[in-house]
Amino acid sequence: MIYPLVLWIALALLPSMQSSQPASAKRGQVQFSQSCGFCHGRDATGTTEGPDLMRSSLVRHDDNGNLIGPVIREGRPSKGMPAVGLNEAQIADVVAFLKWQLDETSRANPSDPHELSLQRLLTGSAGAGKSFFNGAGECSHCHSPSGDLAGIAKKYAPADLQAHFLYPPDIPKTATITTRGGKELTGELVYHDPFSIAIKDHDGWYRSWPSSDVKFQIHDPLAAHLKLLHQYTEADVHNLFAYLETLK
């Protein structure tokens, strides 16, 4: 009876057949490792330098590169991510790899992703994280556990919480302009180079000046976060995450 044996072999091979990697994804994996792996990890699950892309809503909602492609081409300068010089074929391969890796991650972790992420990430000391928050990290200069961070551990899934404090959402820069006549205007910074500066004021008006004609102060709400990205140790990240997880 050869048929049962053939059926048994086919069933035994089914998992590996399901997870076989398309050629485009294989090329994309090599390209991703070379161009993106330093920050996002070789398997795209993140490092202290870059977020876990398997938890990224952008990656999950991407349709044939419509969301991932622009990020690769243009970068995210406000978050410290430069543009990556890949051609369209290379970008398509990276997208194929990320989609394949996303499917593999979902297949390998069919249980509650919230609990799996928490087990994986909750390896630090909440006490040490609190000390970092109030001390070396200077987080308490802008944030309060009883104010803007109250209940934050309930608001975000574990991996999302870590990504949120490492790479917070874009917040526009503001600028205060002082004219030669002493008038002050404050608004969202729209443009700035060595020769000119422009803001959108509170009434929605676009205003610009030659940089040499005014005094100005630029406020970047994310400057402290970007600075910390170059200072965090792996222990700091895990400890701070453990502390934020206590803020329920």
Name the nearest CA neighbour of 66 among 45, 43, 91. 91
pLDDT tens-digit series, residues 113-156: 445 456 666 778 999 999 999 999 999 999 999 999 999 988 88
Q: What is the reported pTM? A: 0.53
Q: What is the pLDDT of residue 231?
A: 85
Structure tokens belonging to residue 78:
């406000």
Q: Provide CATH 2.30.30.100 ranges for the chain.
A: 174-220
The whole-number average pLDDT for the span 225-233 is 84
Q: Provide CATH 1.10.760.10 ranges for the chain.
A: 3-108
193 CA to centre of own chain: 27
Buried b (16+ CB within 10 A) or exposed e, 154-165: eeebbbbbbbbb
Name the nearest CA neighbour of 105 among 94, 116, 91. 116
The residue among 7 and 132 whose pLDDT is bigger is 132
Q: What is the pLDDT of residue 52?
A: 82
Burial of 244 (0-12, 13-18, 19+ CB in 10 A): buried
Answer whether 228's CB lies under 8 Å from 185's CB.
Answer: no
214 CA to centre of own chain: 36
Fold that domain 174-220 belongs to in CATH: SH3 type barrels. (2.30.30)
The pLDDT of residue 108 is above 70: no
The whole-number average pLDDT for the span 214-219 is 95
Fold that domain 3-108 belongs to in CATH: Cytochrome Bc1 Complex; Chain D, domain 2 (1.10.760)
Q: Is 79 left (phi over 0), alpha (psi -120 to 50) or beta?
A: alpha
Q: What is the pLDDT of residue 88?
A: 94
Name the nearest CA neighbour of 247 among 137, 184, 165. 165
Question: Going along the chain, which residue ranges are E strands?
Answer: 174-178, 184-192, 196-201, 206-210, 215-219
